[in-house]
Structure 1
Amino acid sequence: MFETVRKNQKILQVILLILIVPSFVFLGVDSYTKSGDSKTDIAKVHQESITQVELENALKAQGQKLGITGQSLDNPNFKNAILGQLIQQKLLNFDLKSLNLQIPDETLAKEILKFPEVALLKKPDGSIDAEQYRQFLQNNGLTVAQFEKLKKYEMMGSDLQSALGGATGTISSDLVSQKLITSIATEREVQVIFFLADAYSKQLQLSEKDFTDYYQANPAQFQSTELVDVEYVVLSNTNKAGEDADFSKKADQFANLIYEQPDSLKPGADALGLKIQKVAGLT
């Protein structure tokens, strides 16, 4: 007996790992793309088939993860365990559809970047080259929508299992678990009625007095902070000897020009070669 255990140690480790880990995790983009059509269906879940090709690729992917190769992959117990996990994953996917769980696009993008094949498609600015990404998936028999849908299902399954008893989200009491189950299973009926403003406004008959009364009753709605835009020029005296008289002459000349044309600083500024400066929105 112990000789059998020693010879099949890795297989037993795999079986134990599968029993412990609640969801079957695929490796790399390759595992999403090689489950193609096959006439050999080995199981059906809600009319959705699990093919021989899909099982073989799942065996290889899990074997690669655990370092198992060759004839060890043909062990009946190992195959049955992997098939069981595939069936559970299919069942979980149907449950996920009914729960309407959502994965934010930002979270999905971060997870997809964990695939080495996708990470190699990053541009210098950190974004993914969309055309190369599409072409890469197309070469593997998938569209972008198909691949991202598969990944979302995997992530939702992982999140749900964590919430229902995983290491990161254990339900602490029967009361909490019952509330969670109730919230998921409860059906809610919502009725919506739309009021179109245009249709309603045609029925209104407002007089001038109605507008006046509303304005007087709600003055704050029609008030705003007073603001002013300011234009100015700077005349400066360097206080150098002999320049005081010249400065006074220019100041008087500017004042006279502004007095004659008070609507604008431009004539006075142009005459004396001064720059008009502006400050907007002063309170």
Structure 2
Amino acid sequence: MLKSMRENVKSLKWVLWLVVAAFVVSIFFIWGASGKLTGDDAGNTLAVIGRKKISGDDYLQALRNRIEAIKSQYQEIDRAFIEQLNLPQQVLEQLVEQTLLVEQARAMRLRASDEELRDRITSIPGLQQNGKFVGYEMYKRVLQYNHINLSEFEHSLRQDIVLDKMIRLLTAGLAVTPDEVWSDYQKASDSAGIDLLILETSKVSLDEAPSAAEVQAFFEARKGAYLIPEKREGLAVFLKAEDLKKEIELSEKDIENYYQANLSRFTNPESVRVGRIWLPFEGKDKALVEAEGRRVLERLGAGGDFAALARELSKDAKASGGGDYGFYDWQSLPQPERDEIHRLTSGQTSDLIAEADGLAVIRVTEKTAATTTPLAGASAQIRSILLDEKARQLADTRIAKIEKEAKSARSLETALRKAGLKGESTGLLKNGEAWSDNDPSGAVGTALFGLKEKEVSAPVYTYTGVGLVELRKVEAPRPAAFEEVKADVETALVNERKMETSRARLAALGRRLEEKNWEDIAARNGFEFKTVEAHKRDQYIAIVGESKTADDLAFTLPLNEASAPFDFETGTAVLRVRDRKTVTREEFENVKETQTAQILNQKKNMFLQAYLAKLKQEKGIQIKYDKFLQLTQDVLSRYESAKQ
């Protein structure tokens, strides 16, 4: 076995990838690279949860880990892609939840014993060979080979064990009934092929607009539905980072110092694309497999197409794609193959590479050397980063001074006058309503609803800058006067009449709905025709959306019979069922146990989310959003260009 393990050292990277994919990812992405929260330095604190802190370093490492994981799945990612996935906020939220869970586990005095740790290590799937643990020496070598600290990894495992215990205790009373399991199985398995004729109100024209009297009457009949929610008004001051950049002076030395201190950010790594032909032994005579490999090399030497030969002869997961391992997947290949890839130049093909279980032929199809953007080329980007950082720091300093003075004087206006600034009225805002271009996300509006009258907020951060707001006025919720909602009332009346028109037009089709070709009916009458091959319960339908009526019809309406017109949010539709597949109790019995476990896990997850939400309220989470934005900008600036 030791001989086999030594031979397999060349594939340790793949073994570790299994560990990472199945285990380390789930732990290290939750626990961070160090497996524990740091952050005793107050200046490095990003968030405070009760008496615990999350450091900026924890957040940076966790965000980088998450981005690297995504890079392993996608060849190209850029800043816009990362922001679209909302990764920074997800990572911060995960760190907060981690801290809450760890503290709660400590409060419950839960511990992980050495025996439990040993059992967890020996059960890691990636450290199994022929159904047995590979041994502690190999386990240590795997971690060492991949630059993972042993004590930190085992600390992460202990944390994971403790949380497993806590979750089991918290969710011990949860259960699912057989009826729940059967209903969920039906929802997931039943399907219906359906056709729809659709008429949206946006495509309906009215002969004339409603009169003023009709709009007034419509309002009077539904007066209770029109309410003005609570609104609040404040005095605010906002410092935009963009405006403050004009006050900042940067020297060429500042830019050069940043460049030298962050040189890795401006280095584009070597880019290599690889093709592979894999000939496994699979119990065959090794000499015969080697002879086959020599014939492959001869055919390639004679100008044979590598991709075609890979599709014909290769026996790995990439064979059907012409043996293409792309720019990234080849990094999971055994070490001897990776060594050969680094040696080859673009267009070169390797000799036969012997592995314990087969032979490989490698071709480097593309290779671009690593490059470093020179200082001159990076200067504009560095200037932008430094200006943004220094502008935010300047804004923070000024706002902190104003905040201190305002709370001392119990007046934001007094503090602003002393600073030579003028405040601005926010106007009446709903909770979370946007306030000017300074605050499109509604952070100021949200802050107002957390204040008492005359109270000054903590700094309010947005992507454009930072501000303060003092609550000046509260307007209680009340019934709306007609003039305040007149436009909304008219829109509602017009929409109702359009809905009536679309309903009548579909109903007028009558027996024509018995025709087989609804696509023709749609074309002749100005409707839309949609077909769904296998609609499942609660599934979204294009244009119609999620519709309980459509769901009920799909699974109750007789086949090939048209429904009566039914309304959805933006129009009216009729539906017919072409075919239907429903599962039986006998089929259900075969998957009942698996289905029960899945639903129970879903219940546990929902319970834990509710539990975490309650903990967040109780603990009072404070996040330094200026630091969050600054750190996020620091990481995302590396992904300004599309290809990494």
**Structure-2-length-normalised TM-score:** 0.18
More strand by share: 2
Which of structures 1 and 2 has the larger relative contact order (alpha carbons within 8 angstroms, sep 6+)? 2
Structure of larger gyration radius: 1
